[in-house]
Copies of this chain bind each other. A is one copy, B any other.
Amino acid sequence: MNTLAALLPEGTLVTDPDILAGYRQDRAFDPDAGTPSALVRPATTQQVSTVLKWADEHRVAVVPRGAGTGLSGGATAQNGALLLSTERMREITVDPVTRTAVVQPGLLNAEVKRAVAEHGLWYPPDPSSFEICSIGGNAATNAGGLCCVKYGVTTDYVLGMQVVLADGTAVRLGGPRLKDSAGLSLTKLFVGSEGTLGVITELTLRLLPAQPPQSTVVATFTTLTAATEAILAVTARLRPSMLEFMDSVAINAVEDELRMGLDRSAAGLLVARSDAPGKYAAEEAATIVSACETAGAAEVFSTEDPEEGEAFAAARRFAIPAVERKGTLLLEDVGVPLPRLGELVTGIAEIAARRDVLVSVIAHAGDGNTHPLIVHDPSDADESARAQQAFGEIMDLAIALGGTITGEHGVGRLKKAWLPDQLGPDVMALTRRVKDALDPHGILNPGAVL
């Protein structure tokens, strides 16, 4: 470790156990997180290269880490591993002519949004954690968010990158061009690779013109069936810029905290938005209102006021922290093709009843991506075991419905036991071949994904 420290500027490598302790976990809070040998906080691509070259030569595992807000344990420390935090890599340049931004991975998603907004531009992907998650972590997990139902996910906005490979070689892939068919689509391969193929040190992001003001519809339902019917009716008629769902537990948990007058008796609540230009936003909102009413909504509220609408979107974003106050969460991220959403929601309720655990379902409903939140008390061993059983059974259910075990959080370490069930042995073998080709000594984030 001393030989590596000597290759880096002073203060880049830290071994102080008190500091290391703060980097052992991400927001999966894996109790089995290991004890790393050191933390490196490189400030440049060159320093990342130095770290990986050294680690590859010495066969030392490297766990890359953005802001540590990952929910699947992708950044959980391993015994003896180097933790590589990108927190010091925070530069951004915005080019309004090509509508692109070149960003370093340590910037928060919200910081990218703000920097490009100064040029009248918009970076769409918006994880609920956008104020605390890093753009590098977003790329590593192919993160989604609330507007993805209309605007797509992180990979749709990554035109190029600089990435440091396992042996320390830094390569540039793609660039500020909408079209590029020269060679393999390696840029897209690294997006979503969760630190297992390389460390991204720079991203070239595609931007859009600023999003128009949104109209917002909030609808409550007395049954989950009516709510899922409304979701399908809305997406069949138009492309909302947001279509989010909260169940009764989430509604009440949010209302406990925010006191905004949500209907505590509702079985489900939808927040839908339209950002169609000018008067068409209100027209689309009217279509959404009508779809909800036809599906049997108990109450439907519509507003053109962006601030009022944003308050409902913020309430939905606040659902996870609000439910978290009821107990420790096992946070799911399963997705299904939209027509199977009703079966997924019903099936989750059955699993919760069978395992006698509280499961709150919130969802990016418009794209079929749900976040069942399994509440449990870690000091209650029996309940925790039942929560774990439910966690696995929900993934089994999603797979059986033709879905995915993770829509936007990544596999990390928490879900890797289920990945073979989704992908099958042949795709796992293919994945392993790519991994071995790019990281022959297996130093990059070992134990994640594979």
Residues of A participating in the B interface, judged by any CB pair closer than 8 Å: 95-99, 141-144, 148-149, 152-153, 155-156, 165, 169-173, 175-186, 188-189, 191-193, 196-197, 208-209, 232, 235-236, 238-239, 276-278, 280, 333, 335-339, 364, 367-369, 402-411, 415, 419, 422-424, 426-427, 430-431, 433-438, 449
Contact = CB atoms under 8 A, between A and B. Distances in A.
B179 A408 contact: yes
B337 A182 contact: no
Given A184-B431, A185-B193, A188-B185, A364 B179 contact: yes
Contacts of A338: 97-98
Contact of A186 (B149, B153, B434, B438): B434
Given A338-B97, A427-B172, A189 B185 contact: yes
A367 B186 contact: no
A428 to B, nearest CB: 8
A22 to B, nearest CB: 26
Contacts of A182: 404-406, 411, 415, 419, 422-423
Given A153-B179, A178-B369, 8 more contacts: A149-B178, A171-B426, A177-B407, A179-B364, A189-B434, A278-B280, A434-B437, A437-B437
For the complex formed by this chain, how many copies does it contain in all? 2
Contacts of A403: 177
A184 B367 contact: no
Q: 6 smallest A-B Cβ distances: which pairs?
A: A188-B188, A437-B437, A179-B407, A178-B367, A433-B437, A180-B404
A175 B235 CA distance: 18
